[in-house]
Amino acid sequence: MARSPLVPRHALPTLLALGVALTGIAVPAEPVRGAEAAPGRYIVVLKEGTDVRSAIQGDGGRPGLQQRLAIRPTHTYAHALRGFAAALDADQVRALEADPSVALVAPDLEVTLEDQQTPAGIRRVKAPQSPAAKIDGVDKHPDRVDADVAVIDTGVQGDHPDLNVVGGVNCAPNSEGIVDPTKWGDVDGHGTHVAGTIGALDDTQGVVGVAPGARIWSVRVFDWTAKGYLSWIICGVDWVTAQRDPADPSKPLIEVANMSLSTPGSDDNACGTTNDDLEHQAICRAVAAGTTYVVAAGNQSTWASTRVPAAYDEVMTVGAIADFDGLPGGLGKSPCYSWGGYDTDDTYADFSNYGKDVDLMAPGKCVWSTYPGSTYKFLSGTSMATPTVAGGAALYKATHPEASPAEVQAALVAGGNHDWDTATERDSYRTRLMNVETFGGGAGFTLWLDRQDGAVGASGGTATYTVQVARGDGNGEDIALSVSGLPAGATAAFANPVLSGLAAINTTLGVTVPAGTTSGVYPLTIKGAGSGQEGENAAEGSLTVDGTAPVVTAPVGRITTGSTLRETAVPVNVRWSARDEGTGLSKLELRLSKDGGEWRTVDTFAPATTSSVRWLTPGHRYRYQIRATDVAGNTGDSAIGSTLAPVARQSSSSAIRYSGAGWKNAYVTSAYGGGTKYASSSGHRATFTFTGRQVAWIAPQNYTRGKADVYVDGLRVATVDLYRSSYAPRRVVFSRAWAQSGTHTLEIRVLGTPSGRPRVDIDAFIVLR
């Protein structure tokens, strides 16, 4: 049986969780040191196919950006990049971002040759604030992070001046099939990039890693074509496990292993013993031997549970966010194009896998790090997020050398926060973003609420809050919770009033308010008291008692021009409006009574919904009512619309009068009534008198159909063109509605134009009474 190759993701994005080499933007080949945004200076990238000169200066009488926005480019680019550089104010930036010819407005970067750059992702996880990282721009050997990290990847450049590479092994054969264990240098670039994020030196050049100066071990498991096999992966894991601490062989020499790779698979919850997963078995033994494994979630935008090793419970799985400025708030501008887009700052990366198997998030879009040739480069992927967490694990091990892999993982997760746009996560787990600020320092804790505002209605009820705790530097002390600020008569209950141990990082709080409580907003304070020496911490929230109910308008039904009938049903667009003066709408409920029967709920909608298409069968009577519920739980009075009674008159109906000798019958199974009448010359008319509140003309459309004038009550109101490039039966080609029911006459006058396609069909008329 042929072996399935394991291919790095930047070489084949559909297979592995490795980073991509970027296209569409120039990436410097030399180190960018001290790169910071230059205030007011921007680079504008134009969309592919846009002529740079015309876009700037205008063309054919159309003013260009220079005239419309008073922009004075300092440089223009037409080869390596299409665009220009300019000094811009905030209004100009906004206008350019909205311009259809512009692909990207990115801040210009100040480039110097003296200082190292602290990449945005390193700043975002607060490595510079970590006492364990000791980042100060000076590479002193005693300050290097005392930890060993294996990069199981494409190899690492051993002599890169910004890395502390101490050795390694090669498990991949050369072109002649020979494996030379000493050839562990990088054959691709991916592994060197990963290594820089983990532990680039704090030395005034290039970049700095999360764990500066950590000892890097290069474990090459991919060949020169960027392919690998399971046997090579297991070779690397086996080698890492074999390396023991010379001073105490019961401990591992290599405390942390980074695996920015993946392949399809799942977790059998038995270390691979029931599904013969050899990689799982090897990793379980490696973890049991003391090494913490940090792995990529994968880049398929799907559940991480479908990829291995991401799905394994024994590893720490990392998903990616986009972070471009090292700060929360969503204000950073993307410095690169990758994975088909620029992405939005502080959001879940569009490529990242997700689900309960993802333990932590870290920046993984447009990550600047070391690269072979002693250079630096942007790469993107969960591969780039993973080494950030591997660096965090190295920091923790350096100050907690006795911690087990499970304790390392618990400490990193417990120290994380939700200081990113968790609403963009594709699941409901609200994964934490790694934060190493407290590693090597005080073991305090911080409280926050996932949602600060709760609400109940006038009839009383319970508002539920999720209380989160970030535990600093492995702080597992008991934290006793309490709440103050409750309205009179209200009670509060925590699901776990005392959070015990590193794994206890959240609980729920229910605040129950009795009926009759005075409406208003009540500030709440949730306090946590540590059992050790760490004191107290508090989170602020609010409780709104809302005594007002939402208001809705009666639903109105209309047949919409451009819609298509089913063979036995008519699409009626039911519309309404709703508003709430208190806590805001929560949901809308649409109810139906058919032919005078009982009311029943037929649909529920999000609060912003204002219409729904319902399918009504002629010969029946329909009434709709809408009612709204607000966030506090108040449900307002229902509003009932008028009866909707659709009546169909097919083309053969005696209610339709045809004038002109040229009307012919066409028997078409796709027609509403099984056939149509049609005419092709002027002077032919179809007249229909009816009583109702709306009428609709139903006809087929095709490239052979022509035009007709439409008269209502003797007045010409429209000219309808039945042309369509492809055949479409049962189309609503015209409709007219009135506020009240009445008797009206609709007349279709065939124009006999244009030449070559003059045909006009009558399939049916639909009346809403």
563 is catalytic: no
Contact 524, 481 (CB under 8 A): no
> Which residues have C-beta within 8 Å of that of residue 79, sequence separation ≥ 6?
none
Tokens of 326: 């090292």
- Among 125, 149, 120, 144, smallest CA distance to 134 is for 144
Report the chain's terminal Cα–Cα distance, integer Å: 71
> Which residues have C-beta within 8 Å of that of residue 40, sequence separation ≥ 6?
87, 88, 89
153 is catalytic: yes
**Count of H-run helices and E-run strands, the chain:** 9, 47
383 is catalytic: yes
Displacement of CA 640 from its chain's centroid (Å): 39
Which one-letter DSSP state was computed for residue 65?
H
> Which residues have C-beta within 8 Å of that of residue 124, sequence separation ≥ 6?
323, 326, 327, 362, 363, 433
Return the residue matching tokens 């591992």: 252
Which one-letter DSSP state was computed for residue 458?
T
**HSE value, Cβ hemisphere, 13 Å, CA-based, for 312:** 30
Contact 240, 190 (CB under 8 A): no
Q: Using CA atoms in the order 408, 410, 415, 418, what is the torsion angle rounded to 10 degrees?
A: 130
- CA-to-CA dists, residue 495 to 339, 464, 465, 487, 511, angstroms: 42, 11, 11, 20, 11
Report the distance separating Cα 257 and Cα 175, nearest Å: 27
Report the distance separating Cα 436 and Cα 242, nearest Å: 29
User: At 679, is the secondary structure helix, strand, or coil?
Assistant: strand
Looking at 130, 218, 262, 383, which residue is catalytic? 383
Looking at 10, 101, 188, 190, which residue is catalytic? 190
Strand pairing report for 611-616 and 646-650: unpaired
Report the distance separating Cα 100 and Cα 92, nearest Å: 14
User: At 639, is the secondary structure helix, strand, or coil?
Assistant: strand
Contact 103, 49 (CB under 8 A): no
Q: Hey, what amino acid is at 470?
A: A
Looking at 148, 153, 202, 580, which residue is catalytic? 153
- Among 636, 646, 685, smallest CA distance to 663 is for 685
Contact 321, 381 (CB under 8 A): no
Active site residues: 153, 190, 383
